[in-house]
Structure 1
């Protein structure tokens, strides 16, 4: 039964939609945590420590973060694999070019696949920069996330990488959120206008929120 659902096109679209909402939920929480940087070193580092102690004594130190990582990895893999397989099916279903040109799709639609690749590569970079410290452009200090984040955003090329990824994220979320509500049957003629406006606004606020971090460090608001 599960295999049959997964093999179907609608099944893969549902997997993409559900995993997409899981990832969106994480992004909102991640942004909320990141914005604590404006409250200073103590609040930001305390929040990072709280994430590692959340659930104690039922959960051991750091277990909550690992459970969260497992959910995110499963969601990313499910999202990426279903997207790739749907893309291959679409190509096989239309092997020849259209005789008549189709109306131009939106920029977000045409760059959806490349946006996903950019985000996937950035996530790897982000982990190696601020979680493991492997590519950190300075003296990475375990347990000092505020200092590590400020040091990262004090280097201009790190900001270029980050802002580029966040712009790709905004386009991806804008189109992905709209596609997800259609797949799950939430959309309708009477609600489509409001849902499109919500998707646009949500993507804009999410992107702007993340971009405030490097901009604040570059301008000296956060130091």
Structure 2
């Protein structure tokens, strides 16, 4: 197929428009995953069995064709590819932007864009470190205090009873919230919307980021305060 022609894909990737398109598509896929994952975490408030059964069900999706847990591994590989492409495109676009303005302004006030860019950079580092820890903790069970495969609820509770785990988790989630807000806001800016639409979308981006952040933080703080045990 022409769309899969390697030279055409290379040209697309090498262009600024292509890199922005890759960032947009991968960002949307990652946002869908983040949202679905957050909503599934809230099953902990229904019952321990609800969360455990959901985790067990994920391993049976398309198991007739992919084997037990095969769907999860394909999803994980896809997420890793999305993260790598998203981060690589972001770094390369930032370098192109700096190269286009090699001489810095001598008296340049700090603006929102500078703050957002710094937040995205450091937030990305924090998120990358957290994902590695999260996989070793709740996916593989190596770093989890309980560490029993399939006993998801008790693994989560054992984790968040530790204040320093909750603190690290909260830091990563807040970084994710900033990342989502800036990403959604930047997506609209690139479309050249009107001032009224930009204000509405900025409020929407902020609201969605707060929604995701609050959803993710609800479980660890419920454990830490004894609401979940």
Shorter-chain TM-score bucket reads over 0.9
What's the offset of the Cα at 1:108? 3.2
What's the offset of the Cα at 1:62? 0.6
Name whichever structure is richer in helix by fraction: 2
Distance in 1 (alpha carbons) for counterparts of 2:39 and 2:82: 20
Distance change in 2, residues 1:89/1:186 (3 Å):
closer
Count of residues paired in the alignment: 221
Q: Does 1:200 align with 2:203?
A: no
What SS class does the counterpart of residue 66 from structure 2 fall into? Answer: coil
What's the offset of the Cα at 1:189? 3.9
Q: Does 1:147 align with 2:154?
A: yes
Distance in 2 (alpha carbons) for counterparts of 1:142 and 1:103: 49
Distance in 2 (alpha carbons) for counterparts of 1:186 and 1:80: 24
Distance change in 2, residues 1:153/1:186 (3 Å):
farther
Q: 2:135 aligns with which of 123, 127, 133?
A: 127
Q: Does 1:12 align with 2:12?
A: no
Distance in 2 (alpha carbons) for counterparts of 1:52 and 1:45: 11
- Higher RCO (CA-CA < 8 Å; seq separation 6+): 1
Contact preservation (8 Å) 1:108, 1:174: no
What's the offset of the Cα at 1:102? 4.1
Identify the range of structure 1 (87-96 vs 186-195) with the bigger mean alpha-carbon deviation: 186-195
Q: Does 1:222 align with 2:222?
A: no
Contact preservation (8 Å) 1:16, 1:180: no
Give the CA RMSD over aligned residues. Answer: 1.6
Q: 1:211 aligns with which of 208, 214, 217?
A: 217
Unaligned runs of 5+ in 2: 1-7
What SS class does the counterpart of residue 54 from structure 1 fall into? Answer: coil
Q: 1:97 aligns with which of 104, 120, 124?
A: 104
Q: Does 1:118 align with 2:136?
A: no
What's the offset of the Cα at 1:73? 0.8
